[in-house]
Structure 1
Amino acid sequence: MTRAFSPRRNRAALRALIRRLGRNRRGVAAVEFAMILPAMLAIYFGIVETGQAIMIDRKVTQLTRSLVDLSSQVSTIPTTEVGNIFDAAQTVMMPYTSVAPKMSIHHIVIDSAGVAKVCWSEQRNSTKLARGTTVALPADLRMPNTSIMMAQASYDFTPVVGWIIKGGAITIGGSPIYMRPRLGKAGGSASIEQVERSGVAMCPGFG
C-alpha cells in the first residue's frame, strides 16, 4: 500500500533533520582548524624568519666591528695581511656562512681643511672606494690632520618562506663603523698619523 503524499509530514521530517544536523558537531573542529592553519603557519614562520634576521643583524655588526678593530691596531698592512683580516673577521658570522658577506675596509685621511678623503681601500665581495674619493664623515670625526679607519659589512638574507616575506634577498647591515689608528705611523706631506698600506703612498697626496 502506497503512503499518501503529505506536505505536513515532509516538513516535519525536514525540521527533524535540520535539528539533528544542528546538534551534530562532528567535523566542526577539523573545518575550523583547516581555516586557521594558514594564518598559524604564517605567524610561526614569520617569527622564525624575524628571529633569524635579528641574529644575522647582530652578527653583521660584530663583523664590521672586527674588521675596523683588526685593521686599526697595526702600523702597516701588507698585502698578505689583508686576506687574513677578512678571514678572521668573517668567522664571527658562523653559523650563517651559506652566503658570503660583503666586506670593505677604508682608510680615511682628513686634511688641514677638514676634508676627508680615501687614502686606500680594500674589499671582499664588495666595492672599493677610489683613492682620493671624498667621504662624508660625521662632524665630530672630521678633525683636521688626522686619519680614521672605516669598515662596512652587509649580508644578503633570503627568507626560507618566500611567500611570507616577498621580494627576494634582504640586505642586512651596511652601516659604517669608525676607529682611530692605535699604532699608526706619521707619513705623507703633513706627517699625519695613519695606517700604511704596503705599496701605497701615504696621504695627503692622493694622486
Structure 2
Amino acid sequence: MRFPMTRVFSLRRNRAALRRLTRRFRGNPRGVAAVEFAMILPAMLAIYFGIVETGQGVMIDRKVTQLTRSLADLTAQSTTISNTEMSNIFDAAQTVMMPYTTVSPKMSVHHIVVDSAGVAKVCWSEQRNSTKFARGTTVTIPADLRLPNSSLIMAQASYDFTPVVGWLIQGGAISIGGDPIYMRPRLGKAGGTASIEQVERSGVSMCPGFS
C-alpha cells in the first residue's frame, strides 16, 4: 500500500520535531528539576505534616499533664466540695487546654482512702465526659502512697487528638494522657470511723465506712 508523499513528509516532520523536543527536554536542567520536584513533592508534604502533627501532639500532651495536675491541686486545696464547687474545678482546670478546645477533654477526680489494712478504696468520685468509680471500689495505687489510715486525691485526664494525616488515612483519634496524678489533701478535715484527714464531698459520708 502506498501513502501520498505529503503524508510521508508530514510523519517525518512530526518524528523529527518529537526528537528535537525530547533532546531539548533532556538537556534542559529546569525540565529535569521540575520532574524531580514532582516526584519528591509527596514525600516532602508527608514529612512536613508529620513534623507539624508531632509538634501538636507533644504540646497537647503537656497541656493534658497540666490539666491533670490542676484537677488534683484544686481539689486537694478544698475542705468540703459542693456540686457547684466541683463544677467550678472542672471549668477552671479545663482552661489550661486553650487553644485546644475543639474537643472537650475527659476528666475525673477520685478521692481515695487507705484503711488500716493498707487497702485503697474510692470514697467518692466525680467526672466530666469520662467515667467515675463506684464508692468502695478497690483501686491500685503506688506502694509508697499506700499509707494506712490516709487519703489522697487521684486525678485523671485525656484528650482525643485527631491528626490531619491520621484523619485522611484512618479516620481515627489518638487518646493522649490518662496517667493519674496523686496529691494529699492540704486543708482536709478528719472524719470517718478512723478520723482520717480527707476532702469531704457534700452529701457523702466520710470514709472509712464505704457503704
TM-score (norm 1): 0.88
Aligned pairs, how many?
Answer: 194
Question: What is aligned with 2:177?
Answer: 173
Distance in 2 (CA, whole Å) between partners of 1:80 and 1:19 is 77
Q: Equivalent residue for 2:193?
A: 189
Q: Within 1, Cα distance between the matches of 2:156 and 2:201?
A: 18
Instruction: Note the alpha carbon deviations across 1:14-59, whole angstroms, 9 max, x for none.
Output: xx96994553445211110110000000000000000000000000
Relative distance call for 1:145 and 1:165 in structure 2 (3 A) is: farther
Matched-pair contact (CA < 8 Å) for 1:73–1:183:
yes
Over 3 Å counting, the alpha-carbon distance change for 1:129 and 1:28 in structure 2 is same
Measured after TM superposition, the shift of residue 134 of structure 1 is: 0.4
Deviation at 1:160, TM superposition (A): 1.6
CA contact (8 A) 2:167 2:173 kept: no
- Report if aligned partners of 1:109, 1:203 keep a CA contact under 8 Å in 2: yes
Which segments of structure 1 move beyond 2 Å, counting only runs of 4 or more? 16-26, 161-167
Opposite residue 111 of structure 1, the aligned amino acid is D
Are residues 24 and 130 of structure 1, via their aligned partners in 2, closer, same or farther at CA, if it must alter by over 3 Å? same
Matched to 2:35, the amino acid is V
Q: 1:81 to 1:169 in 2, by over 3 A?
A: same
* Aligned residues of 1:42 and 1:164 also touching (Cα < 8 A): no
Residue in 1 aligned with 2:156?
152
> What is the percent sequence identity of the aligned residues?
80
Q: Which of 180, 191, 208 pairs up with 1:204?
A: 208
> Normalising by the residue count of structure 2, what TM-score does the alignment of the two structures yield?
0.87
Deviation for aligned residue 1:92: 0.2
Letter of the 2:148 partner, please give it: P
Find the residue that maps to 1:33 and give its secondary structure. Answer: helix
Distance across 2 between alignment mates of 1:179 and 1:42: 42
Cα gap change, 1:167 to 1:95, in 2 (>3 Å) = same
CA contact (8 A) 1:159 1:165 kept: no
- Distance in 1 between residues matched to 2:76 and 2:22, nearest whole Å: 81
1:88 aligns with 2:123: no
Query: What is the aligned partner in structure 2 of residue 10 from structure 1?
Result: none
Cα RMSD between the aligned structures? Answer: 1.9
Shift of 1:161: 2.2
CA gap of 1:137–1:118, structure 2 versus 1, over 3 A, is: same
Q: What are structure 1's unaligned runs of at least 5 residues? A: 3-12
Structure 2 unmatched runs, 5+: 6-15
Q: Which deviates the most, 39-48 or 159-168? A: 159-168
